[in-house]
Amino acid sequence: MADDGRSDDGYDADDHHDPRLTDPVHRTLAGVLDAARPNTDGAVADYIPELADVDPEPIAIALASTRGSVHEAGDSRVEFTIQSASKPFVFALALDALGLDTLTRHVGLEPSGEPFNAISLEASGRPDNPMINAGAIVATSLMGGETTEQKFREIRKGLSRFAGRELELDESVYASEAATGDRNRALAYLTHAAGTLAAPVDVATDAYFRQCALVVTTRDLAVMAATLATGGINPLTRERVISADAARWTTSMMTSCGMYDASGEWLLRVGLPAKSGVGGGIVALQPEQFGVGTFSPRLDERGNSVRGVEMLTTMSERYGLHMLDPRGEPLSPIASLDPDDGTTVALLRGDIRFAGMEEVLTRLLPLVNDDGCLVLDFTGVTRVGGGASRVFRGVVDLAGTNPDGRARVEIRDPDGVLRD
């Protein structure tokens, strides 16, 4: 039984039913967790004194769908500090506030291939990317306000919106990081000298230490990741936290840089955008589907949770979650064709993106002739990608009209799915 009154499987012993009977996803997550539990390799982050004393045994995994359901297993309500798992979310907030062009004048977008605390700076003094410490400190310096308190207020408010609840600061961990953070200060001084840091060194680093000491649970990490997976909308509160562009750009950076100098191997083996923290947490996501949080304090030599890596690797391999997995032959977006007295009605279906649009138009436009009419009926379509929408609408004008004045291509879109 966990200290918080929950069983080792992550459910409340006082519940009147066992969620394993009503939540098959919980059972799935519990199986992934059980496979990783025997692994006791690695060690806690003892270079931060306050983290050196944490219990190394807790282990948890949580999944939040983009529709707002949350599934948990293990010690998913145990609290820990977010540490570097905060980096993508602060980067996203800075992106939303300043835009990509402004932000990239201060921090690069390329993998460093080096440890998270390395001096990974371009010749100009710009950090390689925002997922390493140097780049993250620069991103923190760009947050609103002039003082540490103002910057941290904006960061805390933003990360709380990602989590869907107010996040608290662990004062002891903050003090411990501030007392031992000379390497991070050195990185900040280097970026300050190069003109890429947007605040005084003490302001930027102190806000960064506070940012890393925010307290989260595994469930929080899953919800935060799911907010990126939805394109910036928190699936629980339904609040838009960041723009869709900022969510996409942030997810891209997690894909290429989120697991430090293990990012290439991570992408190959696991294939999920992710970010780790030395507090033992990892956030990962499948765009448009779900966010995942894992927690286990023992770290490997790269600063990634040993059992967290194992859980996400197992989950990806068992359930085919790699973002580049071939999906096989997709279902045709053309559900049926109904020719009737010179008019052919094509009933379309599903989620139509660029490839689906190409199939529809390549197969059906040859049916258009001087006397007939092709009707594209979108009644059964759930969504159309923005680029595909523009092409579909343009076809109406491109096809022109018949001699009797009727459009050769007509569109039926009662639910307005062709909106950009």
Mind listing the pLDDT tens digit for each residue in 53-71?
999 999 999 999 999 999 9
11 assigned to active site = no
CA distance 225 to 25: 18
More confident residue, 316 or 420: 316
**Tens digit of pLDDT for each residue in 341-352?**
778 999 999 999
CA dihedral 90, 92, 95, 101 (to 10 degrees): 110
276 assigned to active site = no
Percent helix, strand and coil across the chain, each to the nearest 5: 40, 20, 40
CA distance 318 to 295: 19
CA distance 162 to 294: 17
Q: Which of 208, 270, 275, 409 is catalytic?
A: 208
pTM of the model: 0.87
Query: What letter does residue 66 receive in the DSSP assignment?
Result: T
Residue 189, annotated ligand binder? no
Amino acid at 104: T
**Would you place residue 1 in the very low, low, confident or very high pLDDT band (cuts 50, 70, 90)?**
very low
The residues with which 299 forms a beta bridge, in sequence order, are 43, 305
| pLDDT for the residue 120 | 66
Q: What is the mean pLDDT of residues 17-21?
A: 51
Residue 278, annotated ligand binder? yes
Residue 239, annotated ligand binder? no
174 assigned to active site = no
Residue 133, annotated ligand binder? yes
The residues with which 12 forms a beta bridge, in sequence order, are 6
CATH superfamily of 334-412: STAS domain (3.30.750.24)
CA distance 100 to 86: 19
Q: What is the mean pLDDT of residues 144-166?
A: 96
Determine which of 20-29, 151-160, 235-244, 355-364 has the lowest per-residue pLDDT on average.
Answer: 20-29
Residue 260, annotated ligand binder? yes
- CB–CB of 76/219 below 8 Å? yes
260 assigned to active site = yes
**Tens digit of pLDDT for each residue in 92-135?**
999 999 999 999 999 999 887 776 666 667 778 789 899 999 99
Q: Which of 86, 90, 151, 260 is catalytic?
A: 260
Residue 264, both tokens? 């290439």
Neighbours of 197 (CB within 10 A): 27
| pLDDT for the residue 117 | 66
* Exposure class string for 4-33: b at 16+ Cβ within 10 A, else e: eebebbbbeeeeeeebeeebebbebbbebb
CA angle 49, 54, 58 (to 5 degrees): 155
**Tens digit of pLDDT for each residue in 367-416?**
887 777 899 999 999 999 878 999 998 888 888 887 777 788 999 999 99
Q: Which of 76, 87, 270, 389 is catalytic?
A: 87
**Tens digit of pLDDT for each residue in 289-338?**
999 999 999 999 888 999 999 999 999 999 999 998 887 778 899 999 98
CA distance 158 to 94: 10
CA distance 92 to 320: 28
Q: Over 50: is that where the pLDDT of 164 sits?
A: yes
CA angle 142, 147, 149 (to 5 degrees): 100
**Would you place residue 4 in the very low, low, confident or very high pLDDT band (cuts 50, 70, 90)?**
very low
Residue 99, both tokens? 């835009």
| pLDDT for the residue 136 | 95
Report the candidate in 79, 90, 51, 56 with the shortest Cα–Cα distance to residue 216: 79
Owner of token pair 């936290």: 241
CATH superfamily of 30-319: DD-peptidase/beta-lactamase superfamily (3.40.710.10)
252 assigned to active site = no
Q: Where are the domains of the chain?
A: 30-319, 334-412
